[in-house]
Structure 1
Amino acid sequence: MPAFDLTTYLERLGMERPAVPDAEALRQLQRAQLRALPFESFDPYLGSAPDLDLDVIVEKILHRRRGGYCFELNALFGAALSALGFQTRRALGRVRKGLPEGGPRTHLLMTVTIGEERFIADAGFGGPGALEPLKLVLDVEQDMTNGRYRLIRDARTDETVIERWTNGQWGSLYGFDSAFVVDADVAGANHICATWSRMPFPNHLMLAGFDGNTRIGVFGRNVTRETAEGDTRTVVTSEAEFASLVRDELRIGVDDRMIAAAWARIEQDTPLPAEARGIAEKTL
Protein backbone atom coordinates (compact mmCIF):
# COMPACT_ATOMS: atom_id res chain seq x y z
CA MET A 1 0.00 0.00 0.00
CA PRO A 2 1.44 3.43 -0.91
CA ALA A 3 2.25 5.86 1.87
CA PHE A 4 -0.60 8.11 2.99
CA ASP A 5 -0.47 11.57 1.36
CA LEU A 6 -0.14 13.52 4.58
CA THR A 7 0.93 16.72 2.82
CA THR A 8 -2.27 16.96 0.77
CA TYR A 9 -4.36 16.07 3.82
CA LEU A 10 -2.85 18.84 5.94
CA GLU A 11 -3.17 21.32 3.07
CA ARG A 12 -6.86 20.45 2.78
CA LEU A 13 -7.22 21.14 6.50
CA GLY A 14 -5.20 24.35 6.27
CA MET A 15 -2.72 23.45 9.01
CA GLU A 16 0.94 22.67 9.51
CA ARG A 17 2.27 19.27 10.49
CA PRO A 18 2.21 18.90 14.31
CA ALA A 19 5.64 18.66 15.89
CA VAL A 20 4.70 15.72 18.12
CA PRO A 21 1.69 13.37 18.34
CA ASP A 22 0.37 14.74 21.63
CA ALA A 23 -3.08 15.62 22.98
CA GLU A 24 -2.93 19.19 21.68
CA ALA A 25 -2.06 17.99 18.18
CA LEU A 26 -4.97 15.54 18.28
CA ARG A 27 -7.29 18.35 19.37
CA GLN A 28 -6.13 20.60 16.54
CA LEU A 29 -6.44 17.85 13.93
CA GLN A 30 -9.97 16.78 14.85
CA ARG A 31 -11.21 20.35 15.04
CA ALA A 32 -9.57 21.22 11.72
CA GLN A 33 -10.97 18.17 9.91
CA LEU A 34 -14.50 18.74 11.20
CA ARG A 35 -14.34 22.35 10.03
CA ALA A 36 -12.80 21.55 6.64
CA LEU A 37 -14.29 18.21 5.56
CA PRO A 38 -18.10 18.07 5.55
CA PHE A 39 -20.31 15.13 6.35
CA GLU A 40 -22.40 14.20 3.31
CA SER A 41 -24.39 11.22 2.08
CA PHE A 42 -24.92 11.99 -1.61
CA ASP A 43 -23.65 8.57 -2.72
CA PRO A 44 -26.07 6.31 -0.78
CA TYR A 45 -28.91 8.78 -1.36
CA LEU A 46 -28.34 8.50 -5.10
CA GLY A 47 -28.02 4.72 -5.06
CA SER A 48 -24.37 3.74 -4.61
CA ALA A 49 -22.41 2.44 -1.63
CA PRO A 50 -19.24 4.46 -0.97
CA ASP A 51 -16.00 2.71 -1.89
CA LEU A 52 -13.89 2.41 1.28
CA ASP A 53 -10.55 1.82 -0.44
CA LEU A 54 -8.31 4.49 1.08
CA ASP A 55 -7.01 5.65 -2.31
CA VAL A 56 -10.60 6.18 -3.46
CA ILE A 57 -11.43 8.13 -0.29
CA VAL A 58 -8.35 10.32 -0.74
CA GLU A 59 -9.28 11.04 -4.36
CA LYS A 60 -12.89 11.81 -3.48
CA ILE A 61 -12.38 14.00 -0.40
CA LEU A 62 -8.93 15.52 -0.77
CA HIS A 63 -8.73 15.96 -4.54
CA ARG A 64 -12.35 16.29 -5.68
CA ARG A 65 -13.23 18.21 -2.51
CA ARG A 66 -16.23 16.09 -1.64
CA GLY A 67 -17.17 15.05 1.86
CA GLY A 68 -18.25 11.67 3.13
CA TYR A 69 -19.88 9.85 5.99
CA CYS A 70 -18.28 8.23 9.01
CA PHE A 71 -16.65 5.25 7.26
CA GLU A 72 -14.90 7.59 4.83
CA LEU A 73 -14.16 10.56 7.07
CA ASN A 74 -12.84 8.53 9.99
CA ALA A 75 -10.86 6.21 7.70
CA LEU A 76 -9.14 9.32 6.39
CA PHE A 77 -8.70 10.71 9.91
CA GLY A 78 -7.32 7.40 11.13
CA ALA A 79 -4.83 7.15 8.28
CA ALA A 80 -3.60 10.66 9.01
CA LEU A 81 -3.27 9.96 12.73
CA SER A 82 -1.32 6.76 12.07
CA ALA A 83 0.99 8.60 9.64
CA LEU A 84 1.65 11.16 12.37
CA GLY A 85 2.54 8.50 14.93
CA PHE A 86 -0.66 8.30 17.01
CA GLN A 87 -1.73 4.97 18.53
CA THR A 88 -5.29 4.39 17.28
CA ARG A 89 -7.94 1.68 17.58
CA ARG A 90 -11.24 1.50 15.70
CA ALA A 91 -14.63 1.03 17.33
CA LEU A 92 -18.16 0.65 16.00
CA GLY A 93 -20.96 2.48 17.73
CA ARG A 94 -24.75 2.32 17.87
CA VAL A 95 -26.36 5.68 17.17
CA ARG A 96 -28.90 6.59 19.86
CA LYS A 97 -29.71 10.29 19.54
CA GLY A 98 -31.80 10.49 22.69
CA LEU A 99 -33.08 6.91 22.68
CA PRO A 100 -32.34 4.40 25.48
CA GLU A 101 -30.56 2.07 23.05
CA GLY A 102 -29.12 2.26 19.56
CA GLY A 103 -29.61 0.40 16.32
CA PRO A 104 -26.99 -1.74 14.55
CA ARG A 105 -23.28 -1.02 14.94
CA THR A 106 -23.00 1.41 12.05
CA HIS A 107 -20.95 4.35 13.32
CA LEU A 108 -17.17 4.17 12.93
CA LEU A 109 -15.03 6.05 15.45
CA MET A 110 -11.60 5.67 16.99
CA THR A 111 -9.94 5.72 20.36
CA VAL A 112 -6.45 7.17 20.67
CA THR A 113 -3.99 6.39 23.45
CA ILE A 114 -1.50 9.11 24.39
CA GLY A 115 0.65 8.21 27.37
CA GLU A 116 -1.71 7.23 30.19
CA GLU A 117 -4.73 8.94 28.63
CA ARG A 118 -7.28 7.71 26.10
CA PHE A 119 -9.42 9.88 23.86
CA ILE A 120 -12.40 9.43 21.56
CA ALA A 121 -11.33 10.65 18.12
CA ASP A 122 -14.35 11.18 15.87
CA ALA A 123 -14.37 13.42 12.81
CA GLY A 124 -17.23 11.61 11.08
CA PHE A 125 -20.37 11.89 13.20
CA GLY A 126 -23.12 13.69 11.32
CA GLY A 127 -24.86 14.83 14.48
CA PRO A 128 -23.79 17.35 17.12
CA GLY A 129 -20.67 15.56 18.28
CA ALA A 130 -17.79 17.23 20.06
CA LEU A 131 -15.60 19.45 17.94
CA GLU A 132 -12.55 18.31 19.92
CA PRO A 133 -11.62 14.81 21.17
CA LEU A 134 -13.30 13.72 24.40
CA LYS A 135 -11.25 12.13 27.14
CA LEU A 136 -12.32 8.54 27.67
CA VAL A 137 -13.30 9.00 31.32
CA LEU A 138 -16.71 8.32 32.82
CA ASP A 139 -19.08 10.70 34.61
CA VAL A 140 -16.96 13.80 34.07
CA GLU A 141 -18.46 16.82 32.30
CA GLN A 142 -16.25 18.03 29.47
CA ASP A 143 -16.70 21.50 28.00
CA MET A 144 -15.86 21.60 24.31
CA THR A 145 -15.96 24.54 21.88
CA ASN A 146 -19.42 23.50 20.71
CA GLY A 147 -21.04 22.24 23.89
CA ARG A 148 -20.85 20.21 27.09
CA TYR A 149 -20.42 16.44 26.96
CA ARG A 150 -19.98 13.48 29.27
CA LEU A 151 -19.46 9.73 29.01
CA ILE A 152 -21.57 7.29 31.01
CA ARG A 153 -21.59 3.52 31.29
CA ASP A 154 -24.65 1.55 30.18
CA ALA A 155 -24.42 -1.63 32.24
CA ARG A 156 -27.19 -3.37 30.28
CA THR A 157 -25.49 -3.04 26.88
CA ASP A 158 -21.92 -2.86 28.22
CA GLU A 159 -21.42 0.33 26.21
CA THR A 160 -19.79 3.67 26.83
CA VAL A 161 -22.38 6.27 25.87
CA ILE A 162 -21.60 9.83 24.77
CA GLU A 163 -24.12 12.40 25.98
CA ARG A 164 -24.50 16.11 25.16
CA TRP A 165 -26.15 18.75 27.35
CA THR A 166 -28.97 20.19 25.28
CA ASN A 167 -31.99 22.24 26.32
CA GLY A 168 -31.38 21.67 30.01
CA GLN A 169 -30.91 17.92 29.93
CA TRP A 170 -28.47 15.20 28.90
CA GLY A 171 -29.20 13.50 25.59
CA SER A 172 -27.44 10.41 24.23
CA LEU A 173 -25.59 10.56 20.90
CA TYR A 174 -24.16 7.06 20.50
CA GLY A 175 -22.75 4.16 22.47
CA PHE A 176 -19.79 1.88 21.71
CA ASP A 177 -18.00 -1.05 23.26
CA SER A 178 -14.46 -2.46 23.25
CA ALA A 179 -14.97 -5.16 20.61
CA PHE A 180 -12.08 -5.43 18.17
CA VAL A 181 -13.03 -4.13 14.71
CA VAL A 182 -11.71 -5.73 11.53
CA ASP A 183 -12.07 -4.53 7.95
CA ALA A 184 -14.94 -6.94 7.32
CA ASP A 185 -16.94 -5.35 10.16
CA VAL A 186 -16.56 -1.93 8.58
CA ALA A 187 -17.40 -3.22 5.09
CA GLY A 188 -20.55 -4.88 6.41
CA ALA A 189 -21.62 -1.78 8.33
CA ASN A 190 -21.03 0.37 5.25
CA HIS A 191 -23.18 -1.96 3.15
CA ILE A 192 -26.00 -1.84 5.70
CA CYS A 193 -25.87 1.95 5.94
CA ALA A 194 -25.85 2.48 2.20
CA THR A 195 -28.39 -0.12 1.07
CA TRP A 196 -30.75 -1.20 3.86
CA SER A 197 -34.13 0.50 3.46
CA ARG A 198 -34.50 0.86 7.24
CA MET A 199 -31.38 3.03 7.46
CA PRO A 200 -31.73 6.77 6.85
CA PHE A 201 -29.03 7.15 4.21
CA PRO A 202 -30.81 5.58 1.21
CA ASN A 203 -33.96 7.55 2.06
CA HIS A 204 -32.79 11.00 3.16
CA LEU A 205 -29.96 13.30 2.16
CA MET A 206 -27.97 14.28 5.25
CA LEU A 207 -25.26 16.92 5.32
CA ALA A 208 -23.35 18.63 8.11
CA GLY A 209 -20.44 21.01 8.38
CA PHE A 210 -19.29 24.41 9.50
CA ASP A 211 -19.53 27.85 7.95
CA GLY A 212 -17.21 29.80 10.23
CA ASN A 213 -18.45 29.15 13.76
CA THR A 214 -21.92 28.14 12.59
CA ARG A 215 -22.66 24.42 12.45
CA ILE A 216 -25.04 23.55 9.63
CA GLY A 217 -27.09 20.36 9.70
CA VAL A 218 -29.23 19.35 6.72
CA PHE A 219 -31.93 16.68 6.61
CA GLY A 220 -33.53 16.70 3.17
CA ARG A 221 -34.74 20.24 2.63
CA ASN A 222 -34.69 21.08 6.36
CA VAL A 223 -31.70 23.09 7.59
CA THR A 224 -30.58 23.81 11.15
CA ARG A 225 -27.90 26.42 11.85
CA GLU A 226 -26.39 26.22 15.33
CA THR A 227 -24.54 29.16 16.87
CA ALA A 228 -23.57 30.17 20.41
CA GLU A 229 -26.68 32.38 20.44
CA GLY A 230 -29.06 29.55 19.55
CA ASP A 231 -30.46 27.56 16.64
CA THR A 232 -32.38 28.67 13.57
CA ARG A 233 -34.36 26.36 11.30
CA THR A 234 -35.23 26.99 7.67
CA VAL A 235 -36.58 25.08 4.68
CA VAL A 236 -34.86 25.03 1.26
CA THR A 237 -37.41 25.81 -1.45
CA SER A 238 -35.53 25.72 -4.77
CA GLU A 239 -32.71 23.90 -6.56
CA ALA A 240 -30.70 27.13 -6.77
CA GLU A 241 -30.99 27.63 -3.01
CA PHE A 242 -30.03 24.00 -2.45
CA ALA A 243 -26.98 24.32 -4.73
CA SER A 244 -25.83 27.44 -2.87
CA LEU A 245 -26.22 25.70 0.48
CA VAL A 246 -24.20 22.69 -0.67
CA ARG A 247 -21.44 24.51 -2.52
CA ASP A 248 -21.11 27.91 -0.87
CA GLU A 249 -21.91 27.21 2.78
CA LEU A 250 -20.90 23.57 3.18
CA ARG A 251 -18.26 23.68 0.42
CA ILE A 252 -19.06 20.22 -0.98
CA GLY A 253 -17.67 19.74 -4.49
CA VAL A 254 -20.59 18.03 -6.22
CA ASP A 255 -21.37 18.61 -9.91
CA ASP A 256 -24.58 19.88 -11.50
CA ARG A 257 -25.76 16.35 -12.25
CA MET A 258 -25.62 15.32 -8.60
CA ILE A 259 -27.26 18.54 -7.46
CA ALA A 260 -30.12 18.03 -9.92
CA ALA A 261 -30.56 14.34 -9.07
CA ALA A 262 -30.58 14.96 -5.32
CA TRP A 263 -32.98 17.89 -5.60
CA ALA A 264 -35.34 15.87 -7.76
CA ARG A 265 -35.61 13.29 -4.97
CA ILE A 266 -35.90 15.92 -2.24
CA GLU A 267 -38.73 17.65 -4.10
CA GLN A 268 -40.78 14.46 -3.89
CA ASP A 269 -40.72 14.70 -0.09
CA THR A 270 -43.20 16.82 1.82
CA PRO A 271 -41.45 19.48 3.94
CA LEU A 272 -41.57 18.64 7.63
CA PRO A 273 -43.49 20.97 9.92
CA ALA A 274 -41.27 22.96 12.27
CA GLU A 275 -42.27 20.96 15.36
CA ALA A 276 -41.26 17.69 13.67
CA ARG A 277 -37.87 18.67 12.27
CA GLY A 278 -35.98 18.05 15.49
CA ILE A 279 -37.32 14.49 15.65
CA ALA A 280 -36.30 13.73 12.07
CA GLU A 281 -32.88 15.27 12.52
CA LYS A 282 -32.15 12.76 15.29
CA THR A 283 -31.26 10.30 12.56
CA LEU A 284 -28.25 12.45 11.63
Structure 2
Amino acid sequence: MRAEDQWESDRLDVDTYLERLGITGPLDPTPGTLRLLHRAHVTTIPFENLDVVLGRGVDLDLGAMQAKLLESRRGGYCYEHNLLFAALLERLGYRVTRLHARPDLQYPKPLPRTHMALRVELEDGTAYLADVGFGDSGPLDPVPFADGEVSEQAGWTYRLTEEPDRAQPWCLHLRRGDEWFPVYRFTLEAHHRIDAVVANHFISTHQRSPFVGRVFLERIAEQWRLNLNNRTLTLRHADGGREESSVDDDRFGDVLADRFGIVLNDSELKSVLAVLPD
Protein backbone atom coordinates (compact mmCIF):
# COMPACT_ATOMS: atom_id res chain seq x y z
CA MET A 1 0.00 0.00 0.00
CA ARG A 2 1.28 3.44 -0.88
CA ALA A 3 1.60 5.77 2.13
CA GLU A 4 -1.14 8.08 0.86
CA ASP A 5 -3.58 5.20 0.27
CA GLN A 6 -3.83 4.41 4.00
CA TRP A 7 -6.08 7.45 4.44
CA GLU A 8 -8.57 6.29 1.76
CA SER A 9 -9.30 9.81 0.59
CA ASP A 10 -10.82 8.39 -2.60
CA ARG A 11 -13.80 7.22 -0.50
CA LEU A 12 -14.81 10.77 0.43
CA ASP A 13 -18.12 12.05 -0.95
CA VAL A 14 -16.85 15.45 -2.06
CA ASP A 15 -20.26 16.71 -3.19
CA THR A 16 -21.87 15.95 0.19
CA TYR A 17 -18.99 17.67 1.98
CA LEU A 18 -19.26 20.82 -0.14
CA GLU A 19 -23.03 20.84 0.27
CA ARG A 20 -22.57 20.71 4.06
CA LEU A 21 -20.25 23.72 3.82
CA GLY A 22 -22.49 25.60 1.39
CA ILE A 23 -19.71 25.85 -1.22
CA THR A 24 -19.81 25.30 -4.97
CA GLY A 25 -16.93 24.98 -7.46
CA PRO A 26 -14.69 25.41 -9.26
CA LEU A 27 -12.15 24.82 -6.49
CA ASP A 28 -8.60 24.93 -7.81
CA PRO A 29 -5.89 24.17 -5.19
CA THR A 30 -4.96 27.79 -4.45
CA PRO A 31 -4.43 29.70 -1.19
CA GLY A 32 -7.80 31.37 -1.68
CA THR A 33 -9.63 28.06 -2.01
CA LEU A 34 -7.86 26.68 1.06
CA ARG A 35 -8.90 29.72 3.09
CA LEU A 36 -12.50 29.49 1.81
CA LEU A 37 -12.81 25.82 2.71
CA HIS A 38 -11.09 26.20 6.09
CA ARG A 39 -13.27 29.08 7.25
CA ALA A 40 -16.44 27.39 5.98
CA HIS A 41 -15.64 24.19 7.86
CA VAL A 42 -14.82 25.76 11.23
CA THR A 43 -17.87 28.05 11.14
CA THR A 44 -20.24 25.27 10.03
CA ILE A 45 -19.31 22.03 11.83
CA PRO A 46 -19.09 22.19 15.65
CA PHE A 47 -16.53 20.62 17.94
CA GLU A 48 -18.22 18.09 20.26
CA ASN A 49 -17.62 14.89 22.23
CA LEU A 50 -21.19 13.65 22.64
CA ASP A 51 -20.54 10.18 21.19
CA VAL A 52 -17.92 9.65 23.91
CA VAL A 53 -20.45 10.73 26.53
CA LEU A 54 -23.07 8.42 24.98
CA GLY A 55 -20.70 5.46 25.15
CA ARG A 56 -20.47 4.97 21.39
CA GLY A 57 -16.81 5.80 21.01
CA VAL A 58 -15.36 7.58 17.98
CA ASP A 59 -14.91 5.64 14.73
CA LEU A 60 -12.17 6.99 12.44
CA ASP A 61 -13.32 5.02 9.41
CA LEU A 62 -13.79 7.58 6.65
CA GLY A 63 -17.31 6.36 5.91
CA ALA A 64 -18.30 6.60 9.56
CA MET A 65 -16.87 10.12 9.91
CA GLN A 66 -18.61 11.48 6.85
CA ALA A 67 -21.88 9.80 7.83
CA LYS A 68 -21.71 11.53 11.21
CA LEU A 69 -20.34 15.01 10.42
CA LEU A 70 -21.66 15.46 6.89
CA GLU A 71 -24.82 13.40 6.45
CA SER A 72 -26.14 13.48 10.05
CA ARG A 73 -24.92 17.07 10.48
CA ARG A 74 -23.24 16.37 13.81
CA GLY A 75 -19.84 17.55 15.00
CA GLY A 76 -16.75 15.80 16.29
CA TYR A 77 -13.28 16.35 17.69
CA CYS A 78 -9.87 16.86 16.09
CA TYR A 79 -9.38 13.48 14.41
CA GLU A 80 -12.81 13.52 12.80
CA HIS A 81 -12.55 17.14 11.67
CA ASN A 82 -8.99 17.09 10.38
CA LEU A 83 -9.05 13.61 8.83
CA LEU A 84 -12.13 14.57 6.83
CA PHE A 85 -10.63 17.94 5.89
CA ALA A 86 -7.36 16.32 4.83
CA ALA A 87 -9.26 13.92 2.58
CA LEU A 88 -11.12 16.82 0.96
CA LEU A 89 -7.90 18.75 0.36
CA GLU A 90 -6.19 15.73 -1.18
CA ARG A 91 -9.14 15.17 -3.50
CA LEU A 92 -8.83 18.79 -4.63
CA GLY A 93 -5.10 18.50 -5.38
CA TYR A 94 -3.32 19.74 -2.23
CA ARG A 95 -0.43 17.86 -0.61
CA VAL A 96 -1.28 17.14 3.02
CA THR A 97 0.84 15.89 5.92
CA ARG A 98 -1.05 14.77 9.01
CA LEU A 99 0.76 15.91 12.16
CA HIS A 100 0.39 15.01 15.82
CA ALA A 101 0.66 17.89 18.28
CA ARG A 102 1.02 18.28 22.03
CA PRO A 103 -1.41 20.86 23.49
CA ASP A 104 0.48 23.45 25.52
CA LEU A 105 -2.13 25.89 26.88
CA GLN A 106 0.40 26.94 29.53
CA TYR A 107 -0.46 23.74 31.40
CA PRO A 108 1.94 23.08 34.32
CA LYS A 109 2.69 19.49 33.22
CA PRO A 110 3.21 17.96 29.77
CA LEU A 111 -0.04 16.95 28.10
CA PRO A 112 -0.25 13.87 25.85
CA ARG A 113 0.50 14.34 22.15
CA THR A 114 -3.04 13.63 21.04
CA HIS A 115 -4.03 16.51 18.78
CA MET A 116 -4.03 16.26 15.00
CA ALA A 117 -3.25 19.20 12.72
CA LEU A 118 -2.35 19.45 9.02
CA ARG A 119 0.52 20.83 6.97
CA VAL A 120 -0.86 21.75 3.56
CA GLU A 121 1.49 22.40 0.66
CA LEU A 122 0.68 24.01 -2.69
CA GLU A 123 2.34 23.26 -6.01
CA ASP A 124 4.71 26.22 -5.66
CA GLY A 125 5.96 24.91 -2.31
CA THR A 126 4.05 27.44 -0.19
CA ALA A 127 2.77 25.78 2.98
CA TYR A 128 0.12 26.48 5.61
CA LEU A 129 -0.92 25.02 8.95
CA ALA A 130 -4.56 24.00 8.60
CA ASP A 131 -6.53 23.00 11.67
CA VAL A 132 -10.32 22.80 11.64
CA GLY A 133 -10.49 20.70 14.82
CA PHE A 134 -9.09 22.55 17.83
CA GLY A 135 -12.33 24.22 18.85
CA ASP A 136 -12.51 27.73 20.24
CA SER A 137 -8.74 28.33 20.42
CA GLY A 138 -8.15 27.09 16.88
CA PRO A 139 -7.61 29.30 13.85
CA LEU A 140 -10.37 30.62 11.66
CA ASP A 141 -8.10 30.50 8.59
CA PRO A 142 -4.96 28.58 7.63
CA VAL A 143 -1.78 30.00 9.21
CA PRO A 144 1.27 30.59 6.96
CA PHE A 145 3.96 28.02 7.67
CA ALA A 146 6.71 30.53 8.38
CA ASP A 147 8.54 31.32 11.60
CA GLY A 148 7.05 34.41 13.22
CA GLU A 149 4.69 35.45 10.40
CA VAL A 150 1.55 36.96 11.94
CA SER A 151 -1.88 35.98 10.62
CA GLU A 152 -4.75 38.39 11.35
CA GLN A 153 -8.11 36.61 11.17
CA ALA A 154 -11.21 38.78 11.73
CA GLY A 155 -9.92 40.10 15.05
CA TRP A 156 -8.15 36.87 16.08
CA THR A 157 -4.37 36.78 15.62
CA TYR A 158 -2.12 33.73 15.21
CA ARG A 159 1.47 32.94 14.39
CA LEU A 160 3.78 29.94 14.13
CA THR A 161 7.21 30.01 15.72
CA GLU A 162 10.11 27.60 15.38
CA GLU A 163 12.50 26.85 18.26
CA PRO A 164 14.95 24.27 16.84
CA ASP A 165 16.33 23.27 20.26
CA ARG A 166 12.95 22.04 21.55
CA ALA A 167 11.68 18.46 21.18
CA GLN A 168 8.60 19.89 19.44
CA PRO A 169 10.15 22.89 17.70
CA TRP A 170 7.02 24.35 16.08
CA CYS A 171 4.38 26.14 18.15
CA LEU A 172 1.03 27.68 17.23
CA HIS A 173 0.31 30.85 19.23
CA LEU A 174 -2.89 32.85 19.71
CA ARG A 175 -2.53 36.48 20.78
CA ARG A 176 -4.43 37.35 23.94
CA GLY A 177 -4.10 41.00 24.81
CA ASP A 178 -0.40 41.86 24.70
CA GLU A 179 0.78 38.26 25.07
CA TRP A 180 1.16 35.23 22.81
CA PHE A 181 -0.66 32.20 24.21
CA PRO A 182 0.90 28.84 23.20
CA VAL A 183 -1.84 26.61 21.83
CA TYR A 184 0.12 23.48 20.86
CA ARG A 185 3.59 22.25 19.84
CA PHE A 186 4.58 19.76 17.15
CA THR A 187 7.22 18.35 14.84
CA LEU A 188 6.96 17.95 11.07
CA GLU A 189 7.04 14.15 11.31
CA ALA A 190 4.36 12.58 9.12
CA HIS A 191 2.09 10.15 10.95
CA HIS A 192 0.28 7.02 9.89
CA ARG A 193 -3.36 6.10 10.26
CA ILE A 194 -2.59 3.63 13.05
CA ASP A 195 -1.02 6.49 15.06
CA ALA A 196 -4.33 8.33 14.89
CA VAL A 197 -6.23 5.17 15.89
CA VAL A 198 -4.04 4.69 18.99
CA ALA A 199 -4.26 8.35 20.07
CA ASN A 200 -8.01 8.36 19.43
CA HIS A 201 -8.43 5.32 21.68
CA PHE A 202 -6.74 7.17 24.55
CA ILE A 203 -8.63 10.41 24.07
CA SER A 204 -12.03 8.69 23.80
CA THR A 205 -11.67 6.13 26.61
CA HIS A 206 -8.98 6.99 29.18
CA GLN A 207 -10.15 8.41 32.50
CA ARG A 208 -7.55 11.21 32.23
CA SER A 209 -8.78 12.32 28.83
CA PRO A 210 -10.40 15.78 28.85
CA PHE A 211 -13.29 14.36 26.81
CA VAL A 212 -14.27 11.46 29.08
CA GLY A 213 -16.81 12.07 31.84
CA ARG A 214 -17.90 15.53 30.79
CA VAL A 215 -19.87 17.26 28.06
CA PHE A 216 -17.76 19.54 25.89
CA LEU A 217 -18.80 21.50 22.79
CA GLU A 218 -17.37 24.50 20.96
CA ARG A 219 -18.47 26.66 18.07
CA ILE A 220 -16.51 29.24 16.08
CA ALA A 221 -17.83 32.25 14.19
CA GLU A 222 -15.92 35.17 12.71
CA GLN A 223 -16.46 37.48 15.69
CA TRP A 224 -17.08 35.08 18.57
CA ARG A 225 -16.21 31.70 20.10
CA LEU A 226 -18.75 29.65 22.06
CA ASN A 227 -17.83 26.97 24.61
CA LEU A 228 -20.09 24.61 26.57
CA ASN A 229 -18.24 22.80 29.37
CA ASN A 230 -20.80 20.65 31.17
CA ARG A 231 -23.31 23.32 32.26
CA THR A 232 -21.13 26.40 31.78
CA LEU A 233 -21.76 28.29 28.54
CA THR A 234 -19.04 30.84 27.71
CA LEU A 235 -19.11 33.31 24.83
CA ARG A 236 -15.87 35.12 23.95
CA HIS A 237 -15.68 38.00 21.50
CA ALA A 238 -12.78 39.02 19.27
CA ASP A 239 -12.52 42.33 21.15
CA GLY A 240 -11.88 40.49 24.43
CA GLY A 241 -15.41 40.62 25.82
CA ARG A 242 -16.71 37.59 27.68
CA GLU A 243 -20.15 36.37 28.78
CA GLU A 244 -20.83 33.33 30.96
CA SER A 245 -24.03 31.59 32.03
CA SER A 246 -25.23 28.26 33.42
CA VAL A 247 -27.50 25.91 31.49
CA ASP A 248 -30.11 23.90 33.42
CA ASP A 249 -31.72 20.62 32.33
CA ASP A 250 -34.83 22.26 30.88
CA ARG A 251 -32.78 24.37 28.47
CA PHE A 252 -29.97 21.94 27.65
CA GLY A 253 -31.51 20.36 24.55
CA ASP A 254 -32.47 23.75 23.16
CA VAL A 255 -28.95 25.10 23.70
CA LEU A 256 -27.47 22.13 21.84
CA ALA A 257 -29.87 22.65 18.95
CA ASP A 258 -29.99 26.44 18.77
CA ARG A 259 -26.38 27.32 19.60
CA PHE A 260 -24.49 24.28 18.27
CA GLY A 261 -26.83 22.88 15.62
CA ILE A 262 -26.98 19.43 17.27
CA VAL A 263 -30.38 17.76 17.76
CA LEU A 264 -30.55 14.78 20.12
CA ASN A 265 -33.49 12.45 20.55
CA ASP A 266 -35.11 12.08 23.98
CA SER A 267 -33.07 9.01 24.91
CA GLU A 268 -29.77 10.61 23.90
CA LEU A 269 -30.55 13.82 25.75
CA LYS A 270 -31.46 11.88 28.89
CA SER A 271 -28.10 10.07 28.76
CA VAL A 272 -26.20 13.33 28.30
CA LEU A 273 -28.03 14.99 31.20
CA ALA A 274 -27.11 12.07 33.45
CA VAL A 275 -23.40 12.91 33.04
CA LEU A 276 -23.79 16.55 34.03
CA PRO A 277 -22.95 17.72 37.55
CA ASP A 278 -25.83 19.00 39.68
| Fold-level similarity (TM above 0.5) | yes
Identity %: 31
Q: CA deviation at 1:178?
A: 1.5
Determine which of 46, 51, 57 is the counterpart of 2:54: 46
Unaligned runs of 5+ in 2: 1-7
> Which residue of the partner structure matches residue 85 of structure 1?
93
Q: 2:79–2:196: 8 Å Cα contact kept in structure 1?
A: yes
* 1:88-125 deviation digits (Å, cap 9, x = unpaired): 11000001112377412111111100122110111111
CA distance 1:112–1:101, change in 2 (3 Å):
farther
Q: 1:161–1:176: 8 Å Cα contact kept in structure 2?
A: yes
Determine which of 107, 111, 117 is the counterpart of 2:126: 117
Q: TM-score normalised to the size of structure 1?
A: 0.88
> Which residue of the partner structure matches residue 281 of structure 1?
none
CA distance 1:25–1:201, change in 2 (3 Å):
same
Secondary structure at the counterpart of residue 132 of structure 1: coil
Unaligned runs of 5+ in 1: 269-284
Secondary structure at the counterpart of residue 8 of structure 1: helix
| 4+ long deviations beyond 4 Å | none
Q: CA deviation at 1:19?
A: 3.2
Q: CA deviation at 1:72?
A: 0.5
Secondary structure at the counterpart of residue 112 of structure 1: strand
> Which residue of the partner structure matches residue 161 of structure 2?
152
> Which residue of the partner structure matches residue 25 of structure 2?
17
Determine which of 265, 268, 272 is the counterpart of 2:275: 265
Matched, 1:143 2:152: yes
Secondary structure at the counterpart of residue 105 of structure 1: coil
CA distance 1:73–1:253, change in 2 (3 Å):
farther
Q: CA deviation at 1:232?
A: 2.6
CA distance 1:120–1:212, change in 2 (3 Å):
closer
RMSD: 1.8
CA distance 1:158–1:249, change in 2 (3 Å):
closer
Q: CA deviation at 1:23?
A: 0.4
Q: 1:236–1:242: 8 Å Cα contact kept in structure 2?
A: no
Q: 2:253–2:264: 8 Å Cα contact kept in structure 1?
A: no
Matched, 1:168 2:188: no
Matched, 1:178 2:153: no
Give the number of equivalent residue pairs.
268
Amino acid at match of 1:253: V
Amino acid at match of 2:219: G
- Equivalences for 1:233-248 in 2 at 5 Å? 233-248=243-258
* Deviation larger for 67-76 or 136-145: 136-145
